[in-house]
Amino acid sequence: MRKLFIRLSIISAVLTAMVTSCEKQFVNDIPPERQQLAATAKDQLDLSRQNWNKYAAGLARFVSYEPVQKINIEAEKNAVVQQLLSGDAYIAYGNVQDPSTLSLVTIASLHKQSAAAVDTLTRYATSQVRTGDQLVNIQWEKGTLRFTSKCIVRNDSIVWDNLLTNVVMMDPEGKTVKESSNDNPAAKYYRQWYKEWRSWTVNWIWGSRRGEMGEEITVWPYSNGQVYNTDARSWAYINIGSYRSESRVLVNAGTYGKIQYAVGVATPAASVTFNNSNFKVEVHGIGSSRIENGTHSLTPYPL
Protein backbone atom coordinates (compact mmCIF):
# COMPACT_ATOMS: atom_id res chain seq x y z
CA MET A 1 0.00 0.00 0.00
CA ARG A 2 2.85 2.32 0.89
CA LYS A 3 4.62 1.57 -2.42
CA LEU A 4 1.45 2.37 -4.32
CA PHE A 5 1.14 5.70 -2.48
CA ILE A 6 4.77 6.53 -3.28
CA ARG A 7 4.24 5.69 -6.96
CA LEU A 8 1.11 7.86 -7.13
CA SER A 9 2.97 10.71 -5.46
CA ILE A 10 5.78 10.43 -8.01
CA ILE A 11 3.33 10.37 -10.92
CA SER A 12 1.50 13.39 -9.51
CA ALA A 13 4.75 15.32 -9.12
CA VAL A 14 5.81 14.49 -12.67
CA LEU A 15 2.44 15.56 -14.10
CA THR A 16 2.53 18.81 -12.12
CA ALA A 17 6.03 19.54 -13.40
CA MET A 18 4.92 18.81 -16.97
CA VAL A 19 1.89 21.14 -16.73
CA THR A 20 3.98 23.90 -15.14
CA SER A 21 6.60 23.48 -17.83
CA CYS A 22 3.96 23.69 -20.58
CA GLU A 23 2.42 26.78 -19.03
CA LYS A 24 5.81 28.49 -18.85
CA GLN A 25 6.62 27.44 -22.41
CA PHE A 26 3.24 28.81 -23.59
CA VAL A 27 3.88 32.17 -21.94
CA ASN A 28 7.41 32.32 -23.34
CA ASP A 29 6.10 31.54 -26.83
CA ILE A 30 3.89 34.65 -26.77
CA PRO A 31 5.85 37.57 -28.25
CA PRO A 32 6.60 40.28 -25.64
CA GLU A 33 4.69 42.88 -27.70
CA ARG A 34 1.51 40.82 -27.27
CA GLN A 35 2.02 40.61 -23.51
CA GLN A 36 2.22 44.35 -22.88
CA LEU A 37 1.53 47.77 -24.33
CA ALA A 38 3.10 51.01 -23.10
CA ALA A 39 0.87 52.64 -20.48
CA THR A 40 0.51 55.90 -22.43
CA ALA A 41 -0.41 54.08 -25.65
CA LYS A 42 -2.94 51.98 -23.74
CA ASP A 43 -4.43 55.15 -22.25
CA GLN A 44 -4.71 56.68 -25.73
CA LEU A 45 -6.48 53.59 -27.04
CA ASP A 46 -8.84 53.45 -24.05
CA LEU A 47 -9.68 57.17 -24.38
CA SER A 48 -10.13 56.76 -28.14
CA ARG A 49 -12.64 53.97 -27.56
CA GLN A 50 -14.43 56.05 -24.93
CA ASN A 51 -14.66 59.22 -27.06
CA TRP A 52 -15.44 57.36 -30.27
CA ASN A 53 -18.30 55.43 -28.74
CA LYS A 54 -19.58 58.60 -27.07
CA TYR A 55 -19.63 60.78 -30.19
CA ALA A 56 -19.43 58.47 -33.21
CA ALA A 57 -21.06 55.17 -32.27
CA GLY A 58 -23.67 55.85 -34.95
CA LEU A 59 -20.91 55.55 -37.56
CA ALA A 60 -19.27 52.42 -36.14
CA ARG A 61 -18.53 51.05 -32.68
CA PHE A 62 -15.00 50.62 -31.32
CA VAL A 63 -15.21 47.13 -29.77
CA SER A 64 -11.72 46.11 -28.64
CA TYR A 65 -8.02 46.20 -29.44
CA GLU A 66 -5.16 43.70 -29.26
CA PRO A 67 -1.39 44.13 -29.69
CA VAL A 68 -0.27 41.82 -32.51
CA GLN A 69 3.40 42.12 -33.35
CA LYS A 70 6.41 44.34 -33.66
CA ILE A 71 7.38 45.44 -37.18
CA ASN A 72 10.98 44.23 -37.25
CA ILE A 73 12.04 44.31 -40.90
CA GLU A 74 11.32 46.34 -44.03
CA ALA A 75 9.29 43.53 -45.60
CA GLU A 76 6.94 43.50 -42.60
CA LYS A 77 6.61 47.28 -42.80
CA ASN A 78 5.70 47.12 -46.49
CA ALA A 79 3.14 44.39 -45.80
CA VAL A 80 1.47 46.55 -43.11
CA VAL A 81 1.35 49.58 -45.43
CA GLN A 82 -0.31 47.40 -48.10
CA GLN A 83 -2.93 46.31 -45.56
CA LEU A 84 -3.60 49.93 -44.56
CA LEU A 85 -4.15 50.94 -48.18
CA SER A 86 -5.86 47.83 -49.54
CA GLY A 87 -9.13 48.45 -51.33
CA ASP A 88 -11.24 46.72 -48.66
CA ALA A 89 -9.64 48.62 -45.75
CA TYR A 90 -11.90 51.19 -44.10
CA ILE A 91 -11.18 54.86 -43.45
CA ALA A 92 -13.21 57.39 -41.49
CA TYR A 93 -13.16 61.17 -41.71
CA GLY A 94 -15.00 64.12 -40.20
CA ASN A 95 -15.40 65.90 -36.87
CA VAL A 96 -16.69 63.51 -34.22
CA GLN A 97 -18.25 66.44 -32.35
CA ASP A 98 -20.31 67.23 -35.43
CA PRO A 99 -21.77 63.83 -36.48
CA SER A 100 -23.20 65.28 -39.71
CA THR A 101 -19.63 65.53 -41.06
CA LEU A 102 -18.67 61.89 -40.39
CA SER A 103 -18.20 59.28 -43.09
CA LEU A 104 -16.90 55.71 -43.18
CA VAL A 105 -15.82 54.30 -46.56
CA THR A 106 -13.45 51.73 -48.01
CA ILE A 107 -10.23 52.82 -49.67
CA ALA A 108 -11.67 51.54 -52.98
CA SER A 109 -14.75 53.73 -52.54
CA LEU A 110 -12.60 56.72 -51.57
CA HIS A 111 -10.53 56.23 -54.73
CA LYS A 112 -13.68 56.42 -56.86
CA GLN A 113 -14.61 59.71 -55.19
CA SER A 114 -11.12 61.22 -55.30
CA ALA A 115 -7.95 59.57 -56.59
CA ALA A 116 -6.03 62.58 -55.27
CA ALA A 117 -7.29 61.86 -51.75
CA VAL A 118 -5.91 58.30 -51.91
CA ASP A 119 -2.59 59.56 -53.29
CA THR A 120 -2.29 61.99 -50.38
CA LEU A 121 -3.33 59.30 -47.90
CA THR A 122 -0.77 56.88 -49.36
CA ARG A 123 2.01 59.42 -48.99
CA TYR A 124 1.20 60.07 -45.34
CA ALA A 125 0.59 56.43 -44.35
CA THR A 126 3.82 55.28 -46.00
CA SER A 127 5.82 57.94 -44.17
CA GLN A 128 4.26 57.16 -40.79
CA VAL A 129 4.98 53.41 -40.59
CA ARG A 130 8.54 52.45 -39.60
CA THR A 131 10.41 49.36 -38.53
CA GLY A 132 10.38 49.09 -34.75
CA ASP A 133 6.74 50.17 -34.56
CA GLN A 134 4.12 48.04 -32.85
CA LEU A 135 1.03 46.78 -34.67
CA VAL A 136 -2.31 46.74 -32.84
CA ASN A 137 -5.52 45.31 -34.28
CA ILE A 138 -8.70 47.27 -33.51
CA GLN A 139 -12.03 45.50 -33.85
CA TRP A 140 -15.03 47.51 -35.11
CA GLU A 141 -18.75 46.88 -35.58
CA LYS A 142 -21.19 48.63 -37.87
CA GLY A 143 -24.53 46.87 -37.68
CA THR A 144 -23.83 43.31 -38.78
CA LEU A 145 -20.52 44.31 -40.36
CA ARG A 146 -17.33 43.40 -38.48
CA PHE A 147 -13.96 44.73 -39.58
CA THR A 148 -10.43 45.36 -38.28
CA SER A 149 -8.22 48.42 -38.58
CA LYS A 150 -4.44 48.36 -38.24
CA CYS A 151 -3.19 50.77 -35.59
CA ILE A 152 0.49 51.73 -35.52
CA VAL A 153 2.06 52.54 -32.15
CA ARG A 154 5.55 54.00 -31.77
CA ASN A 155 7.07 53.94 -28.29
CA ASP A 156 4.14 55.18 -26.21
CA SER A 157 1.95 56.90 -28.78
CA ILE A 158 -0.48 56.14 -31.62
CA VAL A 159 1.00 57.36 -34.91
CA TRP A 160 -1.48 55.97 -37.45
CA ASP A 161 -4.85 54.28 -37.80
CA ASN A 162 -7.16 54.72 -40.78
CA LEU A 163 -10.04 55.64 -38.49
CA LEU A 164 -8.53 57.17 -35.36
CA THR A 165 -6.00 59.50 -37.01
CA ASN A 166 -8.25 60.63 -39.85
CA VAL A 167 -11.02 62.07 -37.69
CA VAL A 168 -10.74 65.10 -35.42
CA MET A 169 -12.40 66.45 -32.30
CA MET A 170 -13.25 70.12 -32.73
CA ASP A 171 -15.82 72.39 -31.13
CA PRO A 172 -17.83 73.62 -34.14
CA GLU A 173 -18.39 77.02 -32.50
CA GLY A 174 -14.77 77.75 -31.61
CA LYS A 175 -13.82 80.36 -29.02
CA THR A 176 -13.97 84.18 -29.04
CA VAL A 177 -11.90 86.34 -26.68
CA LYS A 178 -11.95 90.12 -26.19
CA GLU A 179 -9.09 92.00 -24.56
CA SER A 180 -8.20 95.63 -23.96
CA SER A 181 -5.35 97.66 -22.51
CA ASN A 182 -7.97 98.76 -19.98
CA ASP A 183 -7.61 95.28 -18.51
CA ASN A 184 -4.10 96.30 -17.44
CA PRO A 185 -4.15 99.59 -15.48
CA ALA A 186 -0.37 99.93 -15.71
CA ALA A 187 -0.50 99.96 -19.52
CA LYS A 188 -3.59 102.01 -20.34
CA TYR A 189 -1.83 105.35 -19.84
CA TYR A 190 0.93 104.38 -22.27
CA ARG A 191 -0.92 103.28 -25.39
CA GLN A 192 -4.50 102.12 -25.63
CA TRP A 193 -5.44 99.09 -27.69
CA TYR A 194 -8.39 96.78 -28.25
CA LYS A 195 -8.11 93.20 -29.43
CA GLU A 196 -10.50 90.44 -30.45
CA TRP A 197 -9.54 86.95 -31.55
CA ARG A 198 -11.27 83.73 -32.50
CA SER A 199 -9.77 80.27 -32.51
CA TRP A 200 -10.70 76.66 -33.17
CA THR A 201 -8.77 73.92 -31.37
CA VAL A 202 -8.22 70.57 -33.11
CA ASN A 203 -7.83 67.53 -30.87
CA TRP A 204 -6.93 63.90 -31.44
CA ILE A 205 -9.75 61.45 -30.81
CA TRP A 206 -8.02 60.53 -27.53
CA GLY A 207 -8.28 64.14 -26.36
CA SER A 208 -4.82 65.71 -26.58
CA ARG A 209 -4.21 68.74 -28.78
CA ARG A 210 -3.52 68.11 -32.46
CA GLY A 211 -3.63 71.63 -33.86
CA GLU A 212 -5.32 75.00 -33.91
CA MET A 213 -6.38 77.75 -36.27
CA GLY A 214 -7.48 81.29 -35.61
CA GLU A 215 -7.56 84.98 -36.50
CA GLU A 216 -6.98 88.17 -34.53
CA ILE A 217 -7.60 91.90 -35.00
CA THR A 218 -6.00 94.64 -32.89
CA VAL A 219 -6.82 98.36 -33.14
CA TRP A 220 -5.03 101.34 -31.58
CA PRO A 221 -7.22 104.44 -31.06
CA TYR A 222 -6.54 108.02 -30.08
CA SER A 223 -8.18 109.30 -26.90
CA ASN A 224 -11.18 110.43 -28.97
CA GLY A 225 -11.78 106.85 -30.14
CA GLN A 226 -10.52 107.31 -33.71
CA VAL A 227 -8.43 104.35 -34.84
CA TYR A 228 -4.98 105.24 -36.15
CA ASN A 229 -3.63 101.72 -36.70
CA THR A 230 -4.95 98.17 -37.22
CA ASP A 231 -3.07 94.86 -37.11
CA ALA A 232 -4.12 91.50 -38.53
CA ARG A 233 -2.86 88.09 -37.45
CA SER A 234 -3.82 84.53 -38.37
CA TRP A 235 -2.44 81.09 -37.64
CA ALA A 236 -3.06 77.42 -38.42
CA TYR A 237 -1.28 74.13 -37.79
CA ILE A 238 -2.17 70.45 -37.45
CA ASN A 239 -0.13 67.37 -36.59
CA ILE A 240 -0.22 64.98 -39.58
CA GLY A 241 -2.16 66.96 -42.11
CA SER A 242 -2.34 70.15 -44.17
CA TYR A 243 -2.87 73.74 -43.03
CA ARG A 244 -2.77 77.33 -44.26
CA SER A 245 -3.42 80.80 -42.86
CA GLU A 246 -3.45 84.28 -44.40
CA SER A 247 -4.65 87.68 -43.19
CA ARG A 248 -4.54 91.32 -44.26
CA VAL A 249 -5.81 94.72 -43.16
CA LEU A 250 -8.72 96.13 -45.13
CA VAL A 251 -9.45 99.27 -43.06
CA ASN A 252 -6.45 100.58 -41.15
CA ALA A 253 -7.76 103.85 -39.67
CA GLY A 254 -10.99 105.74 -38.98
CA THR A 255 -13.92 104.90 -36.74
CA TYR A 256 -13.06 101.20 -36.79
CA GLY A 257 -10.51 98.66 -38.04
CA LYS A 258 -11.22 95.76 -40.39
CA ILE A 259 -9.23 92.69 -41.44
CA GLN A 260 -9.72 89.78 -43.80
CA TYR A 261 -8.63 86.25 -42.89
CA ALA A 262 -8.42 82.82 -44.47
CA VAL A 263 -7.50 79.83 -42.30
CA GLY A 264 -7.90 76.09 -42.66
CA VAL A 265 -6.72 72.66 -41.53
CA ALA A 266 -7.27 69.17 -42.95
CA THR A 267 -6.33 65.56 -42.18
CA PRO A 268 -4.22 63.52 -44.66
CA ALA A 269 -6.93 62.52 -47.16
CA ALA A 270 -7.42 66.22 -47.95
CA SER A 271 -5.15 69.21 -48.51
CA VAL A 272 -5.56 72.95 -47.89
CA THR A 273 -4.42 75.58 -50.38
CA PHE A 274 -4.71 79.37 -50.60
CA ASN A 275 -6.31 81.11 -53.57
CA ASN A 276 -4.78 84.57 -53.78
CA SER A 277 -7.24 85.80 -56.42
CA ASN A 278 -10.20 85.65 -54.02
CA PHE A 279 -8.22 85.55 -50.75
CA LYS A 280 -9.68 82.23 -49.62
CA VAL A 281 -8.37 78.89 -48.40
CA GLU A 282 -9.80 75.86 -50.17
CA VAL A 283 -9.90 72.13 -49.43
CA HIS A 284 -9.02 69.54 -52.05
CA GLY A 285 -9.62 65.82 -51.63
CA ILE A 286 -11.81 64.18 -49.02
CA GLY A 287 -11.03 64.19 -45.32
CA SER A 288 -11.61 65.91 -42.01
CA SER A 289 -11.27 69.64 -42.59
CA ARG A 290 -12.29 73.04 -41.30
CA ILE A 291 -11.91 76.31 -43.17
CA GLU A 292 -12.88 79.83 -42.18
CA ASN A 293 -12.86 82.66 -44.72
CA GLY A 294 -14.19 86.05 -43.74
CA THR A 295 -13.73 89.55 -42.39
CA HIS A 296 -13.54 90.87 -38.84
CA SER A 297 -14.26 94.46 -37.81
CA LEU A 298 -13.56 96.07 -34.44
CA THR A 299 -14.71 99.40 -33.04
CA PRO A 300 -12.87 100.67 -29.95
CA TYR A 301 -15.98 101.81 -28.09
CA PRO A 302 -17.76 99.93 -26.78
CA LEU A 303 -15.57 96.84 -26.66
Question: Is position 19 within any domain?
Answer: no
Q: Is the CB of residue 293 less than 8 Å from the CB of residue 270?
A: no
Identify whether residues 125 and 214 lie together within a single domain.
no
Do both 100 and 153 map to the same domain?
A: yes
pLDDT for res 192? 87
Q: Are residues 203 and 292 in the same domain?
A: yes
Residue 195 sits in the same domain as residue 156: no
Quick check: is 161 in a domain? yes
Q: Do residues 160 and 262 both lie within one domain? A: no
Pair (211, 115) in one structural domain: no
What pLDDT, on a 0 to 100 scale, did the predictor assign at position 186? 64
Residues 184, 267 share a domain: yes
Helix axes 74-84, 115-128, angle to 10 degrees: 150
Q: Are residues 202 and 100 in the same domain?
A: no
- CA 82, CA 86: separation in Å to the nearest integer? 6
Q: Which amino acid is at 209?
A: R
Q: Which pTM does this prediction carry?
A: 0.82
What pLDDT, on a 0 to 100 scale, did the predictor assign at position 14? 40
**Both 113 and 162 in a single domain?**
yes
Residue spans of the chain under pLDDT 50: 1-30, 32-35, 303
- Is residue 208 located within the same domain as residue 290? yes
| Dihedral sign, Cα of residue 212, residue 117, residue 111, residue 127 | negative
Q: What is the pLDDT of residue 188?
A: 55
Domain boundary among 168, 202, 217: 168
In a domain, 108, yes or no: yes
109 inside domain: yes
Domain that includes residue 160, residue range: 32-168
- Kindly state whether residue 76 falls inside one of the protein's structural domains: yes
Do residues 181 and 288 both lie within one domain? yes
Is the dihedral angle over the CA atoms 212, 50, 68, 123 positive or is it negative?
Answer: negative
Q: Which of 235, 236, 231, 227 is nearest to 249 (CA)?
A: 231
Domain count for the chain: 2
Cβ contacts of 196 within 8 Å, gap of 6 or more: 176, 177, 178, 179, 216, 217, 296, 298
- Other CB atoms closer than 10 Å to residue 111's CB: what's the count? 17
Asked if 218 and 230 count as a contact pair (C-beta separation under 8 A), the reply is yes
Reading across the β-sheet that carries 175-180, which strands appear in turn?
175-180, 194-203, 209-221, 227-238
The residue type at 27? V
Residue 9 lies inside a defined structural domain of this protein? no
pLDDT score, position 261: 98
Could you tell me which residues are beta bridge partners of residue 245? 263
Residue 8 located in a structural domain: no
Q: Are residues 251 and 290 in the same domain?
A: yes
How many C-beta atoms surround the C-beta of residue 113 within 10 A? 14
Per-residue pLDDT, 25: 36
220-274 confidence digits (pLDDT tens) = 999 889 999 999 999 999 999 999 999 999 999 999 999 999 999 999 888 999 9
How far apart (Å, rounded) are the C-alpha atoms in residues 207 and 153?
A: 17
The pLDDT value given to residue 285 = 85
Residue at a domain's end among 107, 136, 168: 168
Domain end position, chosen among 168, 186, 215: 168
pLDDT at position 250? 98
